[in-house]
């Protein structure tokens, strides 16, 4: 193992320990962090964000999502406490939430088609938004994540795309 590889593996292991502690109490997340395959693999460099797409994503977010997830992406302060019906309040989409634990593909599917939780108050957007609109919203989220969250989510997205090939 080269030292670069080793360093990448250590960084990712550190991120996972954050994940495990963060996820155990978080609302509605059934994806165990260990589901990410082949952690030792190195993703290509982080893609740069496109400012125009981020701006379009922000507009779409404010129009479609902010009423529940907050204009500043901060979600419901009680997002980890289930409602009486077993559903969860809207989580944040900034670094304090767990949106960044999921790959682009999974986030696209949740937003377009819905999650597979039995109880949810999250609407589906397949009728209102095109895939490209949803990807622009994800681009806006990425612009608001810290470097660690961004790097982690890119790694998960890349690993998943490799696993599918």
Give residues in contact with ligand HEC (CB under 6 A): 28-29, 64-65, 67-69, 87-91, 97-99, 102, 107, 110-111, 115, 117, 120-123, 125, 137
Q: From the CB of 162, what's the least distance to ligand HEC, in Å?
A: 22
CA distances from 63 to 14, 56, 89, 137 (A): 36, 11, 19, 11
Q: And the tokens for 161?
A: 């795309």
To the nearest whole angstrom, how small is the minimum distance from the Cβ of residue 19 to ligand HEC? 12
Q: Which residue's CB is nearer to ligand HEC, number 74 or number 120?
A: 120
Query: Which of 125/158 has CB closer to ligand HEC?
Result: 125
- Whichever of 33 and 97 has its CB closer to ligand HEC, that residue is 97
Return the number of the residue (122 or 151) whose C-beta is nearest ligand HEC: 122
**C-alpha atoms less than 13 angstroms from C-alpha of 95 in its C-beta half-sphere:** 12
In whole angstroms, give the CA distance from residue 114 to residue 99: 14
Closest CA to 7 of 40, 30, 38, 32: 40
CB 22: neighbour CB atoms within 10 A? 15
Q: Are 73 and 141 in contact (CB under 8 A)?
A: yes
User: For the CA atoms of the chain, what is the radius of gyration?
Assistant: 16
Residue placing its CB nearer to ligand HEC in the complex, 50 or 78: 78
């Amino acid at each position: 193992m080269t030292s670069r590889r080793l360093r990448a593996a250590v960084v990712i292991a550190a991120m996972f320990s954050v994940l495990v502690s963060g996820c155990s109490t978080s609302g509605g997340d059934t994806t165990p962090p260990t589901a990410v395959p082949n952690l030792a693999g190195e993703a290509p460099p982080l893609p740069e964000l496109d400012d125009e797409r981020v701006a379009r994503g922000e507009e779409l977010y404010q129009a479609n999502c902010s009423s529940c997830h907050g204009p500043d992406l901060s979600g419901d302060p009680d997002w980890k406490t289930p409602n009486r019906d077993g559903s969860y309040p809207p989580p944040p989409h900034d670094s304090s939430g767990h949106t960044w634990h999921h790959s682009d593909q999974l986030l696209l599917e949740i937003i377009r088609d819905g999650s597979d939780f039995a109880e949810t108050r999250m609407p589906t957007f397949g009728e209102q938004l095109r895939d490209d609109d949803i990807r622009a919203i994800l681009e806006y989220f990425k612009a608001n994540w810290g470097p660690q969250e961004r790097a982690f989510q890119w790694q998960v997205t890349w690993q998943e795309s490799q696993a599918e090939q």
